[in-house]
Amino acid sequence: MGGGGGDRWQPVCAGGPQCDTAAHWEGGRSPRSRGPTPGTRSALATEFVLLRFARTGGWPFAGCLTSDLRVRLGKREGIQQVERPGDDFASQQPADAFLEERRWMVDHQLRNRGIADRRVLQAMLEVPREKFVPANLIPLAHEDAAQPIGYEQTISQPFTVAYMVEAARLCGGEKVLEIGTGSGYGAAVLSHLSGQVYTVERIEKLADAARARLANLGYANVTVVVGDGSLGLARYQPYDAIIVTAAARVLPTAYQDQLADGGRIVIPIGAQFFGQTMYRYTRRGDDWEIDNLGGFAFVPLVTAEDQAGA
Q: Encode pLDDT of 201-211 as tens digits.
A: 999 999 999 99
For residues 62 and 196, which has the higher predicted lDDT (pLDDT)? 196
How many Å apart are CA 304 and CA 301, to the nearest integer? Answer: 10
- 31 lies in a domain? no
Largest CA distance in the chain: 68
How many Å apart are CA 11 and CA 78, to the nearest integer? Answer: 40
* For residue 65, pLDDT beyond 80: no
Q: Are residues 73 and 187 in the same domain?
A: no
Q: Are residues 159 and 290 in the same domain?
A: yes
Q: Any idea which residues carry the catalytic annotation?
A: 156
Strands 287-298, 5-8: pairing is: antiparallel
How many Å apart are CA 223 and CA 272, to the nearest integer? Answer: 29
For the whole model, what pTM was predicted? 0.71
How many Å apart are CA 236 and CA 222, to the nearest integer? Answer: 13
- 32 lies in a domain? no
How many Å apart are CA 141 and CA 135, to the nearest integer? Answer: 10
Question: Which of the listed ranges 39-48, 188-197, 270-279 does the model predict with the highest average pLDDT?
Answer: 188-197
Q: Are residues 49 and 164 in the same domain?
A: no
How many Å apart are CA 294 and CA 282, to the nearest integer? Answer: 16
Assign 215 a pLDDT band (cuts: 50, 70, 90): very high
* For residue 62, pLDDT beyond 70: no
How many Å apart are CA 225 and CA 200, to the nearest integer? Answer: 5
Give the per-residue pLDDT at 233: 98
Q: Are residues 231 and 162 in the same domain?
A: yes
- 80 lies in a domain? yes
How many Å apart are CA 240 and CA 19, to the nearest integer? Answer: 32
How many Å apart are CA 36 and CA 41, to the nearest integer? Answer: 6
Which residues form the domain of 118?
Answer: 13-22+38-129
Q: Are residues 225 and 300 in the same domain?
A: yes
